[in-house]
């Protein structure tokens, strides 16, 4: 869930196009006739599910798409949007379930369009293939789902690190990007949004421990390109078979929202996945072990990376909760979506600290060890 430019989440302007404007835009830019359009939830961009009408004799292809209208701030970084789009295309070609762009009438992956309003804001627009499946947030999660998501996180980062070499990739060096896990200390400037309470004190504790125990170890972590937001709404799943299994088995059918991509570290991706999967579990403190086991089936963590995992997960909780509170003050109309994680996030973060790092890590590592991958590696 990105928010604004690399330093200040308050500087973006979220698009506000109506459905009629969307239909006209799709026709004008992509040459497709919209039969219906439905808004989709979004943090700071504007997304629409659109279905197009094919004329007789038209080329085959998907009939449903997602129109993504990027916020005004990120739209000033076409190199960054290009990198995200090229990464999606690369991953799709490698067999990952990521969307691909429908080209504009001019043969481009995106177009810069004006909203026609008084400020004449300009937004980059892309038409992406619509992916099947149900968000993880809407299914009954199991250890098998968590394992598959951990495996996905490692496989995705490994593929990007080893084989994605598009010229636009340099734009992913986003030093002050507020959502990069290395930048948890930047939360200092947004804590005011929490008010003075126990939550504020907890976040201050996370930041101080992060500064002292994680930042000095960054150079020891293995670097890669992170998706950066493998949350419970950005991963789609489908039943893996037609059998009546209880609980059902799922496979990942879609990876959404690459707007938080940046250079980071492998351990960042698994920490982010653990944090968001905790949101969807009735036994949140055990979730990390299943996600970790899936991740380590592809790429075992080093001892120093494992030692930072607790504070990295805590740091992501702090990022999500603080930035959401700050952004909700600025954009109260989008408060319900912005505060999705907060509904259970605060409880989980406080629980982690009440149980303590040693006990939480013991649960995670023993659960992961039961799968056997780390020991084999």
Strand 262-265, strand 223-226: pairing: antiparallel
Residue partners of 209: CB distance under 8 A and separation at least 6: 311, 314
Q: CA-CA distance, 91 to 129, in Å (whole number)?
A: 14
Q: Give the dihedral of Cα atoms 258, 335, 47, 187; nearest 10 deg.
A: -20
CA-to-CA dists, residue 297 to 78, 147, 373, angstroms = 36, 9, 5
Of 6, 229, 232, 257, catalytic:
229
Query: What is the per-residue DSSP string for 242-296?
Result: SS--SSPPEEEEEE---TT-EEEEHHHHHHHHHHHHHHT-SSHHHHHHHHHHHHH
Catalytic residue flag (residue 115)? no
CA-to-CA dists, residue 251 to 18, 124, 240, angstroms = 35, 32, 5
Q: CA-CA distance, 230 to 118, in Å (whole number)?
A: 36
Which residue's entry shows tokens 């506000």?
16
Distance of CA 44 to the CA centre of its chain: 13
Residue partners of 343: CB distance under 8 A and separation at least 6: none
Tokens of 97: 């379930």
Q: CA-CA distance, 257 to 259, in Å (whole number)?
A: 6
CB 266 within 8 A of CB 347: no
Tokens of 374: 């780390």
Which residue's entry shows tokens 């949101």?
279
CB 126 within 8 A of CB 98: no
Q: CA-CA distance, 327 to 89, in Å (whole number)?
A: 31
Which residues are identified as catalytic?
229
């Amino acid at each position: 869930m990105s928010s604004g430019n690399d330093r200040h989440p308050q500087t973006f302007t979220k698009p506000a196009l109506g459905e009629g404007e969307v239909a006209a835009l799709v026709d004008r830019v992509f040459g497709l006739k919209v039969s219906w359009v439905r808004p989709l939830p979004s943090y700071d961009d504007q997304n629409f599910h659109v279905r197009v009408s094919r004329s007789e004799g038209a080329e085959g292809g998907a009939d449903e798409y997602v129109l993504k209208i990027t916020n005004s701030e990120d739209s000033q970084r076409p190199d960054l949007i290009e990198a995200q789009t090229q990464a999606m295309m690369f991953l799709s070609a490698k067999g990952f379930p990521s969307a691909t762009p429908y080209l504009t009438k001019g043969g481009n992956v995106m177009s810069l369009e004006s909203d026609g309003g008084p400020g004449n804001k300009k937004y980059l627009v892309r038409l992406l293939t619509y992916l099947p499946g149900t968000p993880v947030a809407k299914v009954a999660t199991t250890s098998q789902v968590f394992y598959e998501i951990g495996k996905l996180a490692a496989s995705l980062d490994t593929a990007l690190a080893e084989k994605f070499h598009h010229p636009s990739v340099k734009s992913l060096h986003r030093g002050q990007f507020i959502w990069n896990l290395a930048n948890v200390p930047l939360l200092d400037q947004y804590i005011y949004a929490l008010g003075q309470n126990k939550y504020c004190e907890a976040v201050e504790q996370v930041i101080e421990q992060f500064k002292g125990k994680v930042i000095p170890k960054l150079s020891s972590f293995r670097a890669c390109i992170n998706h950066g937001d493998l949350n419970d709404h950005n991963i789609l799943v489908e039943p893996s078979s037609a059998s009546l299994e209880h609980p059902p088995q799922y496979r990942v059918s879609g990876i959404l929202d690459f707007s938080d991509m940046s250079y980071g570290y492998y351990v960042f991706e698994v920490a982010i996945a653990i944090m968001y999967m905790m949101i969807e579990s009735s036994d949140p403190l055990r979730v990390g072990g299943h996600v970790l086991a899936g991740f380590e089936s592809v790429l075992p963590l080093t001892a120093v990376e494992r030692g930072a995992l607790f504070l990295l997960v805590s740091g992501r909780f702090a990022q999500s909760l603080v930035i959401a509170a700050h952004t909700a003050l600025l954009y109260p109309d989008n408060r319900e979506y912005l505060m999705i994680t907060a509904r259970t996030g605060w409880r989980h973060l406080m629980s982690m600290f009440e149980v303590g790092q040693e006990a939480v890590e013991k649960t995670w590592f023993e659960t992961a060890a039961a799968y056997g991958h780390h020991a084999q590696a």
